[in-house]
Amino acid sequence: MSNLVFEVFIRLFLTFILSLIVTPIVKLLAFRIGAYDAPGERRINTKNMPTAGGLAIFSVFSFSSLFLFQFIIPTSYIWPIILGSGIVVLTGLIDDIKELSPKKKTLGILLGALVIYFVAEIRVDFVTLPFFGQIDLRWFSLPITLLWILGITNAVNLIDGLDGLASGVSMISLTTIGIVGYFFLHAKTIYIPIVIFVLVASIAGFFPYNFYPAKIFLGDTGALFLGFMISVMSLQGLKNATFITFFTPMLILGVPITDTVYAIIRRLMNKRPISSADKMHLHHRLLSLGFTHKGAVMTIYALALVFSFVALLFSYASNIASILLIVFSLIGLELFIEMIGLVGENHQPLMYVLRLFGNKEFRREQMKKRLGKHSKRK
């Protein structure tokens, strides 16, 4: 076992070095094929920046999985994953060169997800719920699996707004999924966490070029690929989901899921289409509060680490402790979200309740307002 661990570490290091070498080549290629971002209203760059950085991560991950880890990762397992993610990478690459509509991007992600479901056979088959026992999802398995992959893929894509943000958060999330997988998956499937760490090493080699100030962006090529892979890798623990295994990946992916959920709530409250773009995402709000570019990114990294730490605790806690952990985590998260105004400065229900109970003057003001409204109605 010790020899295998040493061998894996050496090959992971070679994967990291390979990614360091390949990324500058992809940077040159991106300009050649027209995959670059010009400065614009919703862009943070002030000059033409190469995108399609995900092409470097995908190519290194594929090469390393197939050749460097040839006798460690089963080919029958990795080929369908490379095929499915390859479809998503191609979709993202076309979008980086010539912008695709949301429907066409969704179609590309769903095609990749179908490969994962039918060829790789990575899916949610059963759900075990407290008091209900094991529930066979049957034909519900397909839509639930597709929705999970589509949701997480788009969630990671949404947070790709600052240099190094999506790549850093992805490394934190994937490392946590890999650690949980190493300790909780069966010994015969040890290659699953190894695949995850191969992906982490591939991102790590790309990261120095992507961190602020970035020399190359992930682009949709990378953001969609990372989101897709995170969703697929997290599904490994959801094959026969229980109350615990269902929430663990949701906690690990807390940052992208939170940003997406609150974006949907915000747009519904403002009566705007869910697919519409705005500048109210987590990183936008931190910047508007006076955070520097690097400070905003580091703050979100810290938030991702907190989510990961809670997820690790969650994996070892009892059912009652897990429920309490979820409740207090949600309260803390809601308070943070309201403080930075992610939904809007006028939508702070938890802070309103806390002020109501903790501030006498505020309570009196609210009572006066209510009495004033009541008298006007009369």
Q: Is 14 helix (H, G, I), strand (E, B) or coil?
A: helix
Binned at pLDDT 50, 70 and 90, residue 301 comes out as: very high
Q: Which stretch, 69-73, 180-184, 282-286, 289-293, has highest mean pLDDT?
A: 69-73
Please check the confidence at residue 280 and state whether its pLDDT lies above 90: no
Residue 167 contacts by C-beta under 8 Å, 6 or more apart in sequence?
203, 206, 207, 210, 211, 218, 222, 226
CA dist 149 and 104 (Å) reads: 16
Find the length of the chain.
378
Instruction: Give the pLDDT confidence of 326-365 residue by residue, as tens digits.
Output: 788 888 888 888 777 777 666 777 777 776 676 667 567 7
The strands making up 240-242's β-sheet, listed across from edge to edge, are 133-136, 126-129, 240-242
| Torsion angle of the four alpha carbons 171, 76, 134, 327, in this order, in degrees rounded to the nearest 10 | 0
Q: Which of 111, 8, 24, 123 is nearest to 69 (CA)?
A: 8
Residue 363 contacts by C-beta under 8 Å, 6 or more apart in sequence?
355, 356, 357
26 phi and psi, to 5 degrees?
-65, -35
Instruction: Give the pLDDT confidence of 55-94 residue by residue, as tens digits.
Output: 999 999 999 999 999 889 999 999 999 999 999 999 999 9
Which amino acid type is present at position 317?
A: A
Instruction: Give the pLDDT confidence of 117-171 residue by residue, as tens digits.
Output: 999 999 888 776 656 666 778 888 999 999 999 999 998 998 888 899 999 999 9
Instruction: Please list the alpha-helical segments (H only) found in 241-345.
Output: 243-252, 254-269, 282-288, 293-316, 319-340
Asked whether residue 157 is marked as a ligand-binding residue, the answer is yes
The pLDDT of residue 244: 57
Cβ contact 119:84 at 8 Å: yes
CA dist 124 and 139 (Å) reads: 11
CA dist 205 and 22 (Å) reads: 9
- What does each C-alpha distance from 285 to 46, 345, 356 come to in angstroms? 20, 11, 25
Binned at pLDDT 50, 70 and 90, residue 234 comes out as: confident
Domain positions in the chain: 2-347
The pLDDT of residue 313: 82
